[in-house]
Chains A and B, each alone.
Chain A
Amino acid sequence: QSALTQPASVSGSPGQSITISCTGSDDDIGEYNLVSWYQQHPGKIPKLIIFEATKRPSAVSDRFSGSKSGNTASLTISGLHPDDEASYYCCSYAGRRLVIFGGGTHVTVL
């Protein structure tokens, strides 16, 4: 299984919205609605922010939202905060009880 494809970096100004894409294939994102997203600040552990493509844990800000269309999942961060500067990883079930991650996207708040 190949890793999911994410842009290496995305940037935005405070208050703006940004979207991170995560492209897979018919065998993973296209087949299953089992995409999750993780936020990781430098030196910290990953934190779950989206699961099942669009659902958000109760403790996660509603500025984070997820969507999926075809073989591509997306994470949108609205009202960008300086604290949103971090790396973001998508993850998908790939069938046969396998899991794959994207390469990660570093978000810079200008």
Chain B
Amino acid sequence: QVQLQQWGAGLLKPSETLSLTCEVNVGTSGGFYWSWIRQAPGKGLEWIGEINHSGTTNYNPSLESRVTTSIDTSTSQVSLRLKSVTAADTAVYYCARARRPKYYFDSWGPGTLVTVSS
């Protein structure tokens, strides 16, 4: 069974860089993409972007200028960096396994609440 663990700083100041890591117990190789999805308090889900084992990335155009994802297949870890954060980036950030080419998310991490406040 796929399990995703997440960690990273939960409190940031405006202009800082958000950094989260997601570790997958079954490894990150194979025909999957590893996505990041966020949910602002009381709001809906927003897809941030994704990466596969080869390092191929796709990003939400609204965040693309500030987002970077990376992967380390040797440690089965996927990372998200979002620079120049503002209060609008306050959200629970999830990593999720994405099925391709069918575009659905079948396993989710527990989520990490990131609060941006001065």
Contacts and interface: CB of A to CB of B under 8 A. Distances in A.
A103 interface: yes
B45 A52 contact: no
- Dominant secondary structure of chain B at its interface with chain A: strand
Contact of B102 (A52, A57, A104): A52
Contacts of B46: 101
B61 A1 contact: yes
A32 to B, nearest CB: 8
A48 B110 contact: no
A3 B46 CA distance: 9
A57 B103 contact: no
B103 A89 contact: no
Contacts of A34: 102-104
A51 B106 CA distance: 9
B75 to A, nearest CB: 23
Nearest to B33: A97
Interface of B: 35, 43-47, 58, 60-61, 94, 99, 102-106, 108-111
Closest 4 CB pairs between A and B? A36-B104, A51-B104, A93-B103, A97-B58
